[in-house]
A and B are shown apart, each in its own frame.
With several copies, the nearest count.
Chain A
Amino acid sequence: MSFTIKTQSFEGPLDLLLDLIEKRKLFISDISLAKVTDDFIMHVKQFEHLPMGESAHFILIASTLLLIKSKSLLPELALSEEEQTDISDLETRLKIFKRIKEASIGIQNLFGKQIIFGRSQSRIISPVFAPSPEFTLEKALFLLTDLINRFPKQETLPKHVVRKVISLEEMISTLTTRITSHLKMSFKEFTKEHKGNRVNVIVSFLAMLELMKKGILEVSQETHFGEIQMETKEVGVPRY
């Protein structure tokens, strides 16, 4: 796995995701998204040092990818309507983003190449004093106060993004419950060493999914739940 790509070269999670898909010469679909989920999360791991504002957008996409991956590994997993919407919404957004990126090549080729120049402003101006009755001192102060209040603030993260990111662990734990209900496996054991680190929780979860996929095959043969944990320990947690 390559870690040489600098974080700065991606303008956002969709940019990264699209790049991963295109590198594998895949088309945008739930199948290709499931395939690049691990890669995506490996990249997101590098952004852990970024402020909440910037990493939140990546985590949000990671959570949707997690759903897609879970569904692809465990087709019997039933997704809620909201989860389905998140998945198809991500595909749509990626397709639109891709189309825009393609179009932007054409824009880049035109930009500044054959400029239509306007008329220069003549340097000589003979002003005619023409005040506007609307302009008063009160108006000036009002407009400036309004302007000052509207000055952009640093990193304003929309509330819904914060809410979704914060509920990421909840989502994973619900997913775990749903998947392991018949396997009696505790996800907590899997993740306790990564407490408080969202990306590592995702990584652990993915690892568990992989193991479970293998585990399920065993289950179907022996239907002895206890042995699964033994089996997974032998296989070991994949090292990311």
Chain B
Amino acid sequence: MEQNPTDLPISAKIEAVLFCKAEPMSKKKLSTLLGVDESSLQHGLETLREALSGRGISLVETNEDVMLGTAKELAGLIEQFTKDELSENLGKAGLETLSIVLYQGPISRTDIDHIRGVNSQFILRNLLVRGLVERIENPSDTRSFLYKPSLDLLAHLGISKIEDLPSFAQVRSDIDSFKKGIDNTNEGKNSKN
């Protein structure tokens, strides 16, 4: 295949492998399989994303993983024959915790508890079991975990990457400035009055 002069571009190869895999795949594995480096892979993913625009399938991606899914506009059509396992109601605590993980992840449980002001052990476990949240080893403390949104969660929200969340950059920068003690939002301006 490698010798074939009419070799298909890397974006087509990515598409074929992800189609076959039928579940999230790590970018690392994908680049090893295709024998390309990370930046070529990312470039291939961008090309594929463009090629898929207006089509029936789309790309969903986190920093680490990538998968193919149906176009979000066609959710109603697909729901006619597929059952959706994740849509069980989140509840207030679940929604709050999920939002923290989405906008602040990867984040430790201690930090989640600190933001919520309560113990999040069981609600996090519930989200993990449902596959909405994933945990990874904490690079700065191997005895603990960091929590991050799963690809399935992004797919369930109908967004293809985390930056597509409503006001993603704004929320993050607001929270950063709260942490630094700088308050550029209305909150700060008005409270001085």
Q: Which residues of A contact B (CB under 8 A)?
A: 11-15, 27-29, 31-32, 53-54, 57, 61, 88, 92-93, 95-101, 103-104, 106-108, 110-123, 125, 127-132, 134-141, 143-145, 147-148, 151-152, 154-157
Partner of A134, one of B95, B156, B185: B95
Contact B98 A120 (CB under 8 A): no
- Say yes or no for B181: interface residue by CB 8 A criterion: yes
User: Among A115, A119, A128, which residue has its beta carbon within 8 angstroms of that of B158?
Assistant: A115
Return the chain B residue nearest A106 by Cβ.
B166
4 A-B pairs with least C-beta separation: A12-B118, A114-B158, A127-B131, A14-B117
**Count of inter-chain pairs, beta carbons less than 8 A:** 255
Given A92-B178, A116-B158, check contact A107 B102 (CB 8 Å). yes
Taking the nearest CB of chain B, how far is it from the CB of A64, in angstroms? 11
- Return chain A residues, CB-CB under 8 Å to B118: 11-14, 54, 57
Other 10 A-B pairs with CB < 8 A, given A127-B128, A128-B130, A132-B90: A100-B104, A117-B82, A118-B23, A120-B22, A127-B130, A129-B130, A129-B156, A132-B95, A141-B165, A143-B95
Quick check: B90 and A154 within 8 Å, CB to CB?
Answer: no
Which of the 9-residue segments B6-14, B26-34, B39-47, B62-70 touches chain A? B62-70
**Complex CA–CA separation, A8 to B98 (angstroms):** 20
Minimal beta-carbon separation of A26 from chain B (angstroms): 8
- A104→B96 contact, CB < 8 A: yes
- Bound together, the chains give a CA A186 to CA B134 distance in angstroms of 55
Given contacts A11-B92, A99-B174, A107-B102, contact A112 B84 (CB under 8 A): yes
Majority secondary structure, B binding face: helix
Contacts of A15 in B (CB 8 A): 116-117
Q: How far is the CA of A15 from the CA of B95 in the complex (A)?
A: 13
Measured CB to CB, the residues of B under 8 A from A are 1, 19-23, 58, 60, 67-73, 75, 78-79, 82, 84, 86-87, 89-90, 92-96, 98-100, 102-104, 114-119, 121-122, 125, 128-132, 150, 152-160, 165-167, 171, 174-175, 178-179, 181, 183, 185-187, 190-193
What residues of chain A lie closer than 8 Å to B69, measured between beta carbons? 116-118
Q: How far is the CB of B149 from chain A (nearest CB, A)?
A: 10
A141 vs B174: C-alpha distance in the bound complex, in angstroms? 12
Whether the pair B60, A116 counts as a contact (CB closer than 8 A) is yes
Residues on the B chain within 8 Å of A32, using CB: 191
Complex Cα distance, B131 from A217, in Å, reads 62
Chain A residue with the shortest CB-CB distance to B126: A130
Can you give 30 contacting A-B residue pairs, CB < 8 Å? Answer: A11-B118, A15-B116, A95-B187, A97-B116, A97-B117, A100-B104, A100-B171, A103-B99, A103-B165, A110-B157, A110-B158, A111-B95, A114-B1, A114-B72, A115-B156, A117-B75, A118-B67, A118-B152, A125-B129, A127-B130, A127-B150, A129-B150, A129-B156, A131-B153, A136-B157, A137-B159, A139-B95, A140-B95, A141-B171, A154-B185
Known A-B contacts A57-B119, A115-B155; A27 and B191 likewise in contact (beta carbons under 8 Å)? yes
How far, in whole Å, are A93 and B114 apart by their CA atoms in the complex?
7
Q: Which residues of B contact A116 (CB under 8 A)?
A: 58, 60, 69-72, 75, 154-156, 158, 160
A93-B115 contact given A118-B67, A127-B130, CB 8 Å threshold = yes
Residues of A within 8 A of B190 (CB): 27
